[in-house]
Amino acid sequence: MHNKSQAQISRRTMLKGLAAGAALPLTGCSRNPAAPQLQAPFVPGKSLPWINWGKNHSCYPAQRLAPRNEAQLLEGLVNAKGTVRAVGSSHAFSALVPTDDTLLTTDYLSGLISHDAEKQQAQVWGGTRLHNLGPLLESVGLATVNLPDMDYPSLAGAIATSTHGTGKNFGSLSTQVAGLTLATLDGRLLDVSADRHADIFKAACTHLGALGIVTRVNLQCQPAYQLTEVSQVEPLEQMLAELDQRMAQNRNFELFALPYSPLGISVTTNEASAGDANQGEDDPGALNQLRQVFESVSWLPGVGESLYAWLLEKAFGGNPPVIRSGASYRVLAHARTTRFCEMEYSIPVEAGPACLREVLATIQKRRLPACFPIEYRHVKGDDIMLSMYQGRDSAVLSIHQFGDLDYRPFFAEIEPIFHRYDGRPHWGKIHTLQAPQLAALYPKHWQDFLALRESLDPSGKLLNTHLQQVLGVIS
């Protein structure tokens, strides 16, 4: 253990040294364009601005509602002027939230309402943040079946966009919903499930905030459990060659591909065994160090990318694994300490490796300014109307760009690749598709969802400009 720890420390120190040393003589040589400055300043006499975590969307809502109970929520929803949009933790990268009319938060509707030990179900307020959900469920001996790899969103917001984790046997968080309560624009509280208002339930489990406000969620859980996660640097092609085997033999598996490098990072998670213990630690500065090395050498004509790959091999080759063990909700979630913008597409699972290889080849061929690791996961299919995984098991590829850089040129080069693989964009992340293209990707339930939306919100009060465009609803 001592030798492994020393090796890990030395390689981490080596990467920091490479970053610092390379940057000194080469400052200003980056190929990365700066992001346009988002204009959302405080203006005296104007309403306070709202801005999302990625800092790529903002608005000036004339009214902000923070109801303390369902009665206040219904009153505010019915009487609100103009467009009404709900907001959780503001982690959506798409323009689902912005409105200059009414912004409604369910932050006060947070916490555990009740649980059924026999059914292993829990009723939770929709405004509960995922990072609070784990401890709440643990207090009654329960846990979610799976979780996304970040725990900042509200439960209702995560369900609204079919937010997911990884694992061939696990669907998105929406598939763990046994029932929910929907506050509608006509002042009702609708309790929906597979046995009650089943059509609305199938739509509300990925509702985009277009049907009403989710106040309560009944989650199908399981007894609380412990997990152990092992992360290590490996050759990417070896991981892809063994992908089916690794997905089948492990509870959770995902990988991160490193652009311009033959290396990747595997993340394997299984139920903990007696004696499992933490080893090493995540380095919160690693992404920025990776970026500094890339920007310092990648611009060199003819040798930049190969030099970068060589430096990564020297810094990471043979690195010992990092091991995290503990309660499931602590192990499945990871902190976000570097701001970024994200595009994510889900494609048929069998096409996943080919799509990833094409993305990496395109980055290298066109010398795109990309060093942020590309996340690759599997999600089990479902039959939720607008779930990205409706009707098919999916491979999910997530493309990131640092938050202070202009993501648009990079994403514009990569997004058409996903289109060729019948990709469906994550509703909460950046994409350029409009209603005609999206309708073709959801042939089974697109019209069903639109009809239900119109029946619950005939005036389009819940539709901002973005939703009008992606759903094809003319105001």
Domain residue ranges in the chain: 2-28+225-425, 50-105, 112-224
Q: Which pTM value belongs to this model?
A: 0.93
Q: What percent of the chain has pLDDT over 90?
A: 83
Asked if residue 388 lies in contact with residue 441, where contact means CB atoms within 8 angstroms, the answer is: no
Number of C-alpha atoms within 13 angstroms, CB side, residue 197? 16
**Six token digits for residue 403:** 């938050």
**pLDDT at residue 2, rounded to an integer:** 36
State in words which class domain 112-224 has. Answer: alpha beta
Burial status of residue 353 (CB atoms within 10 A of its CB: 0-12, 13-18, 19 or more): middle
Residue 136: C-alpha distances to residues 111, 128, 285 (Å): 7, 10, 31
> How many residues are given for the chain?
475
475 residues of the chain, pLDDT tens digit each? 334 333 333 445 445 555 544 444 433 345 667 776 666 777 888 899 999 999 999 999 999 999 999 999 999 999 999 999 999 999 999 999 999 999 999 999 999 999 999 999 999 999 999 999 999 999 999 999 999 999 999 999 999 999 999 999 999 999 999 999 999 999 999 999 999 999 999 999 999 999 999 999 999 999 999 999 999 999 999 999 999 999 999 999 999 999 999 999 999 999 999 999 999 887 778 899 899 999 989 888 877 889 999 999 988 877 889 999 999 999 999 988 899 999 999 999 999 999 999 999 999 999 999 999 999 999 999 999 999 999 999 999 999 999 999 999 999 999 999 999 999 999 999 999 999 999 999 999 999 999 999 999 999 999 999 999 999 998 6
Candidate CATH numbers 3.40.50.2300, 3.40.50.970, 1.20.210.10, 3.30.70.2520; the one for domain 2-28+225-425: 3.30.70.2520
Asked if residue 86 lies in contact with residue 47, where contact means CB atoms within 8 angstroms, the answer is: no
**Six token digits for residue 348:** 């048929």
Q: What percent of the chain has pLDDT over 70?
A: 92
Give, rounded to a whole angstrom, the gap between the first and last alpha carbons of the chain. 64
Give exposure, 282-310, as e/b (b: 16+ Cβ within 10 Å).
eeeebbebbbbbbbbbbbeeeebbebbbe
**pLDDT at residue 285, rounded to an integer:** 80
CATH architecture designation of domain 50-105: 2-Layer Sandwich (3.30)
Asked if residue 219 lies in contact with residue 158, where contact means CB atoms within 8 angstroms, the answer is: no
Q: Read off the pLDDT of residues 253-268 as tens digits, 9 standing for 90 and up.
A: 999 999 999 999 999 9
Q: Which residues pair with 183 in a beta bridge?
A: 189, 213
**pLDDT at residue 302, rounded to an integer:** 78
**pLDDT at residue 33, rounded to an integer:** 74
